[in-house]
Amino acid sequence: MTVLKSARKTVNRCLFPLGLEVIRKDSHDSRDQSNFLPFERTIAAAERSGLSVGDYIDEVMNKQPGATQATIDGMMRLGVFARRITNVVEIGPGSGRYLEKTVAACSPTRYEVYETAAPWASYVKAKYNVILQPTDGQTLRATPDNSVDLVHAHKVFSSIPSLPTFIYWTEMARVCRNGGYAVFDILTEACLDLDTLQQWVDSGLDTGSYPAAMPRAIAVGYFSSRQFELVGTFVVPMTPGRTEVFVFRKA
């Protein structure tokens, strides 16, 4: 921890009873998961590296080249792109790294995003010509019932607390049409053992609600109770651990 950071912590401990907090004017609060990565710094660093922002996040930041494509390939193997997909909703696209590869895999005619981080939301809207829906952090209220072929979220439900995740699940079930897919990852017991727990502890991350864990049975049970069948799951890296991707199909 830097001297400045440690001084800020001490001052903030004193200010806490007054309900006040000192933050650096240009600082990015990594504990605030509704903000994603610092926008300008990440875009500039990607440009310097000569990589796309998505590849920069995979290769340089996460040291997992090809990680995003591996998830898309897993979805492909489980049949998500086997039938024509016209309407897609994505929750929390961030830089758009999954968005870009999803569009490449299925060329949808309509792609809606719900994203809380304002600069990233504007960025993906402009770069990928997608529909940015009003985002309240838990519902998909601008999307009609039974209207989308694919509703997905990547590394979002490991970032936010469980209640907004549960509410998003009800919304995913609502907007997905029969025969459509709901895809998301959660940090389940398949992704946690004592060594991995220690790796998270040793990571030094100061990231608020991330990584949030979730029992897999509750996801499987919930979607099964809403007319979905579990097509399959696969585990992908989420530094310094991993996360389980679920593919559900609505009957």
Ligand X SMILES: C[S@@+](CC[C@H](N)C(=O)[O-])C[C@H]1O[C@@H](n2cnc3c(N)ncnc32)[C@H](O)[C@@H]1O
Give 36 or 181: the residue with its C-beta nearer to ligand X: 36
Other beta carbons within 10 Å of 135: 20
Q: Binding to ligand X by residue 152, rule CB under 6 A?
A: no
CB 59 → ligand X: shortest distance, Å? 13
Give 10 or 95: the residue with its C-beta nearer to ligand X: 95
Note the Cα 95 to chain centre separation in Å: 10
Give 154 or 249: the residue with its C-beta nearer to ligand X: 154
Instruction: Look at residues 110, 158, 156 and name the one whose alpha carbon lies nearest to residue 137.
Output: 156
Q: Binding to ligand X by residue 238, rule CB under 6 A?
A: no
Instruction: Look at residues 194, 199, 183 and name the one whose alpha carbon lies nearest to residue 237.
Output: 199
Read out DSSP for 35-92?
Answer: S-S-HHHHHHHHHHHTS-HHHHIIIIIS--TTHHHHHHHHHHHTTTTSS---EEEEE-
Number of H helices, E strands in the chain: 9, 7
Position 36, amino acid = F
Q: Binding to ligand X by residue 249, rule CB under 6 A?
A: no
Q: Binding to ligand X by residue 135, rule CB under 6 A?
A: yes
Q: Which of 91, 124, 176, 247 binds ligand X (CB under 6 A)?
A: 91
Stretch that binds ligand X, among 39-47, 141-149, 156-164, 241-249 (CB under 6 A): 156-164
Give 116 or 233: the residue with its C-beta nearer to ligand X: 116
For residue 171, give both structure tokens.
């919304």
Restricted to residues 102-121, the positions that interact with ligand X (CB under 6 A) are 114-117, 120
Give 32 or 229: the residue with its C-beta nearer to ligand X: 32
3-class SS of residue 209 = coil
Work out the angle between the directed axes of helices 97-106 and 67-77 (0-180°, nearest 10).
40
Q: Binding to ligand X by residue 164, rule CB under 6 A?
A: yes
CB 51 within 8 A of CB 60: yes
CB 149 → ligand X: shortest distance, Å? 19
Q: Binding to ligand X by residue 34, rule CB under 6 A?
A: yes
For residue 110, give both structure tokens.
């309509």
Q: Which of 159, 188, 233, 243 binds ligand X (CB under 6 A)?
A: 159
Q: Binding to ligand X by residue 139, rule CB under 6 A?
A: no
Q: Which of 75, 88, 124, 160 binds ligand X (CB under 6 A)?
A: 160
213 forms beta bridges with: 187
Q: Binding to ligand X by residue 233, rule CB under 6 A?
A: no
- Please tell me the count of residues contacting ligand X according to CB under 6 A: 24
Interface residue list for ligand X (CB under 6 A): 33-36, 91-95, 97-98, 114-117, 120, 135, 137, 154-156, 159-160, 164
